[in-house]
């Protein structure tokens, strides 16, 4: 298992050691001791899984303190463009986004720390996404940013006019209008 840094501090990619043979493959997606050895000490308390069809766009979501969540995101089936936006006011990368293609084939995982908004778009016919969280979901602390925010200008890998977006996500605020608590 290796850790790959990104252009945004604390936002990292986890590359598992994959063992392939004639039967298929095996890898440890999470091992507390190995994560600790990589400098990641997180107590995950909840796993979330979603199934989505091509063109689905989920996000950008976050939870405010004290219920802010760190997420470890991976794809079990299909392909997504996974996006994180830095909401930490004191960060040199405040307001910047990072995106990565996560696939069942590449087995990469994105560790999205507390203080980030997160979302993804489905670019394969279907996708199953699993993410571990270090805090329980708390509806009263949820927040979000519009996926098509002009200031963020995120490339979701699809035509946004054709995106399948929930009613809840269509009414989220623009980045300039959020009052980040991070």
d(CA 125, CA 48): 21
Q: Alpha carbon of 87 to those of 68, 115, 124: distances in Å? A: 11, 5, 29
Q: What is the DSSP string of 29-86?
A: S--HHHHHHTT------EEEEEEEETTBEEEEEEE-TTS---EEEEEEESEEEEEEEE
Residue 25 annotated among the catalytic residues of the structure: no
Catalytic residue among 62, 67, 118, 131: 131
Residues with Cβ within 8 Å of 37's Cβ and at least 6 positions away in sequence, in order, are none
Residue 118 annotated among the catalytic residues of the structure: no
CB 1 within 8 A of CB 28: yes
d(CA 33, CA 106): 23
Catalytic residue among 25, 30, 61, 136: 61
Preceding omega of 60 cis (within 30 degrees of 0): yes
d(CA 18, CA 106): 10
Where in the sequence numbering do the catalytic residues fall?
Answer: 61, 131
């Amino acid at each position: 298992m290796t850790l790959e840094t990104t252009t945004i501090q604390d936002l990292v990619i986890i590359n598992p050691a994959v063992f392939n043979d004639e039967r298929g493959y095996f890898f440890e997606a999470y091992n507390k001791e190995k994560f600790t050895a990589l400098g990641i000490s997180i107590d995950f308390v909840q796993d979330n899984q979603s199934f989505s069809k091509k063109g689905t766009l989920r996000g950008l979501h976050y939870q405010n303190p004290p219920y802010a969540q760190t997420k470890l995101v991976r794809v079990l089936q299909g392909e997504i463009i996974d996006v994180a936006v830095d909401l930490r006011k004191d960060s040199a990368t405040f307001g910047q986004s990072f995106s990565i293609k996560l696939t069942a084939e590449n087995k990469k995982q994105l560790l999205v720390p507390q203080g980030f908004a997160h979302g993804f778009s489905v670019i394969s016919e279907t996708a199953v996404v699993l993410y571990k969280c270090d805090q329980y979901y708390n509806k009263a602390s949820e927040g979000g940013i519009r996926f098509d925010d002009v200031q963020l200008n995120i490339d979701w890998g699809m035509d946004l006019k054709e995106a399948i977006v929930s009613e809840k996500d269509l009414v989220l605020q623009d980045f300039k209008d959020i009052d980040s608590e991070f």
